[in-house]
Chains A and B, each alone.
Chain A
Amino acid sequence: MTRTIALGALLVSTLLIAAAYVGALVAAVVPPWAPWALMIGTSTIMLATMVLGASRAGGGIGRLAVPFVVMFGVLLVGFGAALVMPVETVNAPLWLGLPRRAAVILYGVGVLPLFVLPIAYAVTFESLTLNEADLERVRQMKAKRGVS
């Protein structure tokens, strides 16, 4: 079920990205909806691909659902904020040394996932990615192929 949903999301997000490109190609001026379509499509395709890779046959993604939902939110909110927040001025306030929209992009999209996804991968590695029993099944399969 998880993989089916991920595949559906993959297809829809690919179509969204294609629509953004086609919209830009056929119109004289890039339509205002095209960056939104590309932003939503890109965020979705990245997360859908991760879910597809993390899910196991017959199972879901377990505790990984939380970091994946958080990251999806970070991407959508980060890019969305960059699209809608007011343009920088000379005296614009700074967040951690950068104008607000740049800070949202660099610290939010660029740095925050660094503290979430690799940690989530490590913490769930034995339970959701690879453990001794999985390796044993693979090695038994290799031995079986070698015999046959």
Chain B
Amino acid sequence: MIQTTALPPLAQPIISAVAVGYFVVVAAIGIWATRKTRTASDFFVAGQGIGLWALAIASMAATLSGFAFIGGPGLVYSVGIGAVFIILPVSLTNAMGAWVLAKRMRLLAEVRDMITVPDAIGARYRSPLAQGLAAVAILIAVVGYMATNVLALGLVIDAIFGVGLTWGIWIGTLITLAYSVSGGILAGVYTDVFQGSLMALASVLVFVYVLEAGSGLSGISRTILGADPGFLGPWGKLTPLAALSFFFVFGLGSLGQPHVVHKFYMLKDPRRLKWYPLIMTVALFVTLLLYVGVGLAVKSLVVSGTMPALGRPDDATPTFLLRFTPLLLAALVFSGVAAAIMSTVNSFMSIGAAALTHDLPVALGRRVGNELRWGRISTIVISVVAALVAQASGTLVAFLGIFGWGLFASTLVPALAIGLNWQGATRAGAIASIATGIVVTLVFETLAYLKVYAFPAGVTVSGLSLVASMLVFLVVSMLTRESEGAAIDADIRLVMEV
């Protein structure tokens, strides 16, 4: 979920100056990283040389897009507590990811030269087809996700500098592209660390102003309860099924997000994973205070008549910041929004380029000669395609953006997350589940988009496709277990047993 509608104009000297300062820091990190990027391993997995704090903060920044700052608070303002179910699983998912994937992914990189998530699937099942299918799913989702994020970035840049949406899209794309192409994921990780820190700091400061503006959490609740008690019910304006469905999709689905999972390869010392869940969870929790706080505070301020009702829910954050926080803090948050989007886009650029130059050729039995050069070229191609899609059609972008999370989840959770922890999982099960995830997601999202079929409230295509691919994976693996025997290489088996 990301920003697809225009923001209120923010073009004020302080906001523009902070944004320019922010872009200068990003450029400096990009130049530093470029000097350190010499091989494909440097470009795609930062030469397996990053530390624990960098891993945790970069993963946090990649996890959150601009939705956490703009769309999320707007959704809380619209539907109440139910919107929190999107972020509620955060308290569980990082520890879950650490137990299920972090150690095994990192150890896979220890025994083999892994640079992509489909690499792990290919090695686990000794199957170029499974690796190729996973790469296809990632490419489809990446282009859609990137297009929506690039559009959001264009909207933010347009709001800050007043340059128009088209220029906003291309300026945002070129800045992200510049440091991604030259410095690869190394530039991405360290800009993510800067961006993530900025996002966390801004969120905490804004939350303080939220409590002040609403006379504390009790004051906010009392004001809202007086006018609309259902808003503060556990499901808000959603049905219980819809809210719980969010929890399922964003909880279990977190194990299938390649732009986050992929970063486990990069940690220098696997023993440092010990504190990863704690740092990552606290960082995410702190950064998401704004998501909940601003949505509730604005609702309270509107109910009490302090603020007029919003024209669009997405105006909640900009309106609150401009009215209730110092301009410098507002500027920091708007730069934080751009930061959140750019860090996500950079991660997608990296995994998309790797799928194109590494996984698909491997699936076809070939190898690209110079993966570093072709990685850079692929990054440019994918980014230009995404920017063109973002510029071409708002409805197309909205459609593409819908299924990214679900496509990642349904194609990667069973084959990767469950498969790396269950020796009985088979190649046939993995291939069937990935194919199921792709087909169910694309077919049902298209039917829903074309309004051929309307799903009842609470039933999402993401949830359906994740359940379908899980069932197919489990059942097909059980049925084909005898025929496939022990089709796991000794080193992979050891990684799965440790």
Contacts and interface: CB of A to CB of B under 8 A. Distances in A.
A76 interface: no
Given A99-B233, A141-B111, A53 B495 contact: no
A117 interface: yes
Interface in A96-144: 96-99, 101-102, 104-106, 109-114, 117-122, 125-126, 129-130, 132, 134-135, 137-139, 141-142
B212 interface: no
A18 B471 contact: yes
Interface in A56-90: 56-58, 71, 79, 82-83, 87-90
Given A101-B234, A121-B99, A138-B110, A21 B91 contact: no
B422 A7 contact: yes
B498 A137 contact: yes
A20 to B, nearest CB: 7
Contacts of A18: 467-468, 471
Contacts of B95: 50, 113, 117-118, 120-121
Nearest to A15: B471
Nearest to A101: B234
Nearest to A67: B95
A10 B418 contact: yes
Nearest to B460: A21
A5 interface: no
B77 interface: no
B232 interface: yes
Contacts of B458: 24, 30, 34
Interface stretch (B63-71, B134-142, B272-280, B316-324): B272-280
B91 A49 contact: no
Contacts, number: 219
Interface residues of A, number: 74
B277 A117 contact: yes
Contacts of A24: 241, 456, 458-459
Contacts of B220: 97
Contacts of B418: 10, 49, 52
A141 B239 CA distance: 52
B269 to A, nearest CB: 9
Contacts of A15: 471
A34 B111 contact: no
Contacts of B247: 42
A105 B84 contact: yes
Contacts of A21: 459, 463-464, 467
B81 interface: yes
Interface residues of B, number: 78
A76 to B, nearest CB: 12
A145 B309 CA distance: 66
Contact of B470 (A14, A39, A119, A135): A14
B23 to A, nearest CB: 34
A24 B424 CA distance: 32
B461 to A, nearest CB: 10
Interface string B90-112: 11101110111101000100110
A20 B464 CA distance: 10
Nearest to A87: B233
A112 B285 CA distance: 12
A88 B222 CA distance: 11
Nearest to B248: A42
Nearest to A139: B110
A25 B456 contact: yes
Contact of B244 (A38, A49, A89, A119): A38
Nearest to B231: A88
Contacts of A105: 81, 84, 88, 234
Interface string B264-304: 00000011011101100110010000001000000000000
Contact of B498 (A20, A35, A56): A56
Contacts of B470: 10, 14
A130 B471 CA distance: 30
Interface string B7-48: 000000000000000000000000000000000000000000
B292 to A, nearest CB: 8
B232 to A, nearest CB: 5
A145 B498 CA distance: 17
B62 interface: no
B455 to A, nearest CB: 7
A44 to B, nearest CB: 11
9 contacts: A18-B468, A25-B456, A49-B96, A89-B229, A90-B226, A91-B225, A118-B282, A137-B494, A138-B495
Across chains A and B, which 9 residue pairs bring their CB atoms closest together, nearest first? Answer: A97-B217, A53-B100, A117-B95, A53-B99, A118-B278, A57-B497, A82-B234, A118-B277, A35-B240
Interface of A: 3, 7, 10-11, 14-15, 17-18, 20-21, 24-25, 30, 34-35, 38-39, 41-42, 45-46, 49-50, 52-54, 56-58, 71, 79, 82-83, 87-92, 94, 96-99, 101-102, 104-106, 109-114, 117-122, 125-126, 129-130, 132, 134-135, 137-139, 141-142, 145
